[in-house]
Amino acid sequence: LVMLGDPRKLTPEQQAFYKKWNSYLKLMEAKYRYSQYFQLYDIFDRPTDNNWDGCYRINTEKQGGLMFFYRNNSSDERRTFKIPCLQPRSRYKIYSFGTGQTIGSFTGKTLMEKGITVTIPSLYTAQVLTIEKE
């Protein structure tokens, strides 16, 4: 999440939003050190204004981290993404901190071979999902 501008001009709602996300990202960083990892593995097509973009920041040793998906001006509301660098026999919980909803529990093999479907209804919008080994 990026905030541009003068933070003193934020509304109380905006301040609460950024505080909530900042606290969560710090928690995930302490738990998984996700910022030190970056996986693309040619899973994402070349990003353009009419395409999606994203990346995975999964700690391959601790098997947890964050996944970022960005829908630009694409006409597709949903895309399916395979998730590399997992352990095939392990189970993983995927959830959205933003909505508080669990997406599901999957085997590493399923996520690597079939992937998950990500839905982003609005243009130029992002979704952050957390993945954790169960």
Whether residue 42 has pLDDT greater than 70: no
- Residue 3's alpha-carbon distances to 15, 22, 26, 45, 63, in angstroms, are 11, 11, 16, 27, 29
Query: Quick one: pLDDT band at residue 54, thresholds 50, 70, 90?
Result: confident
Rg (CA), the chain: 15
pLDDT for 39? 76
For the stretch 73-109, pLDDT in tens is 999 999 999 998 899 999 999 999 999 999 999 999 9
Distance CA 82, CA 84 (A): 6
